[in-house]
Structure 1
Amino acid sequence: MYKNTIETVIAKQDISDVIMRYARAIDRADGPLLHSCYWEDAIEEHANTYNGPAHDYIDGAMARLIKGDVMMHHVGNMHTEIEGDTAWVETYLVTFARFQKDGEPWDTLTGGRIFDKFECREGEWKIAHRKMAFDWNRDEPASEGWCLGLFKPDHPETIMGCKGKDDLTYSRF
């Protein structure tokens, strides 16, 4: 039976911080922050869309992400098994993204899991290899009513999320 030690609890927190940083970085299209989640020699297997060096994947995705529409990654259950300086991590993920289809906005909601091999090098945990498993998906035409009109996106007091450094993530208050 697995028993946590203070070292494994700290390692799990460090690993969790990397996963949360990844979600923030991908949603805000923050390339440097996204790079900080992976080792330089890390591998990214992103379904049928990419399989290769993680940093090359990030560099190629940034131009699309910064110009793209809204995207949000919700991190769920996380299971971590630590074996020395290696950790095997399964993280449940629900993603929302808006894409254009024939000039019209479509919303896609996807549930899946990311499987990461983390490595601790010189006391720091980062992703060394990532694979994905897709469990379900729903695509439909975009439909925003903002709580039946309660919220008004164009009102000057309404803060709308955005990509890049103008988002509240970076400007705070």
Structure 2
Amino acid sequence: MSEQPRSIPSGSVGLDALLAERAIERALLRYARGVDRMDRDLAASAFHPDARITLGGTVADRDTTLDVVFALVARRTMTMHYLTNVLVELDPADPDRARAETYGIAFQRSPSEPPHGNIVSGFRYIDLVTRRAGEWRVRERLTVSEWQRVDDLAGQWPIPEASLRGARDGSDPVSRPWPPDCRGA
């Protein structure tokens, strides 16, 4: 006799926790994509409007921090953020509060000669995340720098001209419309 799979009730704490964790991870990913694609609105959507962010020893509100971040990345020809280990801890005393620790690596390119702007860095985000009106966003962020190195451009393999390349002006392939439905084709 085979055992029937058990379904998880929609109101269960386990499912609610999984949904909260996923929503928090998606907020973090929106910030990374927003910075890399130079989409300020998308990056801002990861934070509550009154968020406080510590970056480089400075504590500021969301919009002031984004002014600084976007001024820095505008001087680069490319940035690419990899968010790797994401550990979300839901507050057992408050279902609308969580803490997330996220490890990351960022690559940055600049048209200037090395070492100006051609760096690879390791960092962590330690975020206090809250749910307001059903939406999870970062309320407080600590950016922790772990390591940084100059990226030797002379040792890099050139990208062939015919290759599809990323863009930061809204023309990136990820911004293309969804293809037409091709089921049954």
TM-score clears 0.5: yes
Q: Whose strand proportion is higher, 1 or 2? A: 1
Once the 2 structures are TM-superposed, how far is the Cα of residue 166 of structure 1 from its aligned partner? 1.2
For the 8 Å contact 1:98–1:105, the answer to whether it is kept is no
Structure 2 unaligned runs (5+)? 1-12, 180-185
Q: Of the candidates 168, 172, 182, which is equivalent to residue 167 of structure 1?
A: 172
> In the alignment, which residue of structure 1 is the partner of 2:148?
137
> In the alignment, which residue of structure 2 is the partner of 1:7?
16
Map residues 5-44 of structure 1 onto 2, 5 A cutoff: 5-44=14-53
Q: Percent identity?
A: 25
Task: String of CA shifts for 1:70-92, please: whole Å, max 9, x gaps.
Answer: 11100111111111211100001
AA aligned opposite 2:55: H
Once the 2 structures are TM-superposed, how far is the Cα of residue 140 of structure 1 from its aligned partner? 3.5
> In the alignment, which residue of structure 1 is the partner of 2:132?
121
> In the alignment, which residue of structure 1 is the partner of 2:81?
73
> In the alignment, which residue of structure 2 is the partner of 1:46?
55
Instruction: Report the RMSD for the aligned CA atoms in angstroms.
Output: 1.9
For the 8 Å contact 2:76–2:108, the answer to whether it is kept is no
Aligned to 1:136, the other structure's residue is in SS state: strand
Task: String of CA shifts for 1:125-164, please: whole Å, max 9, x gaps.
Answer: 0010100112222113323323xxxx51x23xx2111212
Larger Rg computed on CA atoms: 2
Q: Which runs of 4+ in 1 moved over 3 A?
A: none
Mean alpha-carbon deviation: is it higher for 137-146 or for 58-67? Answer: 58-67
Aligned to 2:25, the other structure's residue is in SS state: helix
Give the aligned length.
160
Once the 2 structures are TM-superposed, how far is the Cα of residue 122 of structure 1 from its aligned partner? 1.1
Q: What TM-score results when the alignment is normalised by the length of structure 1?
A: 0.84
